[in-house]
Structure 1
Amino acid sequence: MGELANCPQCGELFVKGAISVCQKCYQEEEKKFEKVYKFIRKRKNRTATMYEVASETGVEESLITKWIKEKRIHPSQAPNFNYPCEKCGNPISEGKLCPSCTDTLRKNMTEEADVKQEAVNTMTYYNVNKNK
């Protein structure tokens, strides 16, 4: 079951569920998506950058980025679409982190797991006999 929330775009009260905006704003987003999708489907526009698509269609880059993250627009459809990595800001075309940040995060998580495992292996337990 959804929860009541205010639409982040217009402030209207709605039940938040699968979509994160009210129905009216969702329909507006869908119209914008169709506009962008039709634009990038044309052969001559497939190599356009996100900036070029945004300026030609009038759709905000943040919305286009949202659709890429939701996998509604795939890198194969628009190979020149890039947006910043959420950690370092380097340009990426899919996911939230660049390969470098992903590797660093994976390495840190492995090191942390090794430290925790070592701590478990070196624990000493004492038995206290209260009868003495």
Structure 2
Amino acid sequence: MGELSNCPKCNALFVQTQFRSVCDACFKKEETAYETVYQFLRKRENRKAMLHEVVEATGVEEELVLKFIRNGRIQLSSFPNLGYPCAKCGKTIKEDKICEGCKQDIHKQLDQMEQVEKISERNKPKTSSYTYYSQSTKK
């Protein structure tokens, strides 16, 4: 079931669903923009176009083209020079959210943190957590 929301583009009131995040009017505009981009990319001479070339030639906003790519409406396997920016460094990638270099950097940082935790655990003073009870012999 959808919930009542304002359109992020035109601020109109609409029922937001998991499939649509914009109102009907903006959705129709997005569909028209998608058709424009798709018709441009279908031409043989444009299949090797880069993102900025697609934006310049079609007049569609870069963010909207990236939305089509992220949603899987434009298959990157058919367009070798098309991609989207890494979420961390901005390098053009074709899958996942971050590039291989950033993944390796994150793994390296995690390994370093684990080593620091191991060292700090080793250097912790050893305290005994034993509790001793004494019994009285008198009744």
Q: Corresponding residue for 2:16?
A: 16
* Matching residue of 2:125: none
Deviation at residue 28 of structure 1 after TM alignment: 0.7
Verify the 8 A CA contact 1:69 1:94 in the aligned structure 2.
no
> 1:45-56, aligned counterparts within 5 Å?
45-56=46-57
CA–CA distance in structure 2, aligned partners of residues 38 and 110 of structure 1:
47
* Alpha-carbon offset, residue 59 of structure 1: 0.5
Deviations 1:90-113 (A, max 9, x none): 221233211122334456667879
Mapped contact 2:76–2:83 kept (Cα < 8 A): no
Structure 1 residues 15 and 127, CA, compared in 2 at 3 Å: closer, same or farther?
farther
Q: CA RMSD in A?
A: 2.9
Superposition map of 1:12-91 within 5 A: 12-18=12-18, 19-91=20-92
Q: TM-score, normalised by structure 1?
A: 0.77
* Corresponding position of 1:123: none
Larger Rg: 2
Whichever residue aligns with residue 10 of structure 1, its letter is C
Aligned to 2:124: none
| Uncovered stretches (5+) of structure 1, i.e. residues with no partner | 120-125
Q: Does the Cα contact within 8 Å between 2:3 and 2:16 map onto a contact in 1?
A: yes
Q: What is the Cα deviation at residue 79 of structure 1?
A: 1.4
Bigger shift: 5-14 or 94-103?
94-103
Equivalent residues of 2:69, 2:84 under 8 A apart: no
Identify which range, 95-104 or 56-65, moves more after superposition. Answer: 95-104
- Per-residue displacement from partner, 1:102-130 (whole Å, max 9, x unpaired)? 33445666787996xxx9xxxxxx798xx
Does the 8 A contact of 1:68 with 1:94 survive in 2? no
Count matched residues: 129
SS in 2 for 1:76: helix
Give 1:20's aligned amino acid. Answer: S
Q: Distance in 2 between matches of 1:71 and 1:127?
A: 60
The corresponding residue for 2:2 is: 2
Between stretches 100-109 and 76-85, larger displacement belongs to 100-109
2:27 and 2:130 map into 1 onto residues whose CA distance is 63
- Tell me the TM-score normalized by structure 2: 0.74
